[in-house]
Structure 1
Amino acid sequence: MATSRLERIGTIFTRAEGLLKRGAMKPDDRPLWFDVYKAFPPIIEPKFARPKVENTTIRPILYKEDVVRAKFHASGHGFAAMNMQNPSGETQIKKLMQQYEKLKTEGVPENELIEKSASNVSSERTQEVAQNKIPKASPETVTSQVLTEVNIKNIFKE
């Protein structure tokens, strides 16, 4: 069986279907994907002998925001960690893009756009921290309590 080349004959679906028809596989033991594949078969059957697709060019998918983000990160700017549980959905990059577009419509030169928008967004962030919109690490959390009670010297004595 180790030298068998049956994977080149038919597809995995046709082989599983054959096992079900002949009784070698019980209907209860069929794979989960079998019924889905049967209901929604692919347009082109995935056979081993199918010729290789010659068109292998990959279209570049770049948005204008990607270029701005790349310039932003290349200039060495970076933000602190963000709160993923924040329901507002306002990320720092989204705010950066809004500032960038706003400054661009105001007529700021291209070479100053990144610097000014990054400084505006970082100043907004410091204001939010000052106004306690962004919660700081709370000393009442379980992790902070455990860390204050732990004694590193005695951690491995038990």
Structure 2
Amino acid sequence: MALLPILEFPDPRLRTKAAPVDAEQVTTPQFQQLLDDMLQTMYEAPGIGLAATQVDVHKRFMVIDVSEERNDPQVFINPEITARSGSRVYQEGCLSIPGIFADVSRADTITVRFLDRDGQQRQLDAEGLLATCVQHEIDHLDGKLFIDYLSPLKREMVRKKLAKARKHVA
């Protein structure tokens, strides 16, 4: 397995809309290795979700593990939300926007249809943190970031804070 570089805001590649994954590609050794590499990258970061777009692969798939023990990896290929209900505010962060957290309102419960790691069609009813994480990662696949839910002023403050942090690192 290999750690993959994670793109960071304001990299324009994060705004790319991902293309669907060809169902025949899912079970290839190369794709399975990419899934393993993404899971390792997510765990090492550490994070609870990682979309392919974040590692500069512009295909519609993502990995998630919201378990406390970090032992319940889930793979969502070509995910599509088919139902949403309720509303909940979570403080979100993002591996592509390090050190920044903000309250974001999203549906509290969702139904998502997707292919699993074996290429099988699945449907999942998710609520709470898992529902939030699925929505957050699907946003990445659509070229959207959680800071897009913030006011323009707050977004600009985030951009400046990240630029200042990068300057200190350099």
TM-score normalised per structure 1: 0.22
Q: Give the structure with the higher percent helix.
A: 1
Q: Give the structure with the higher percent strand.
A: 2
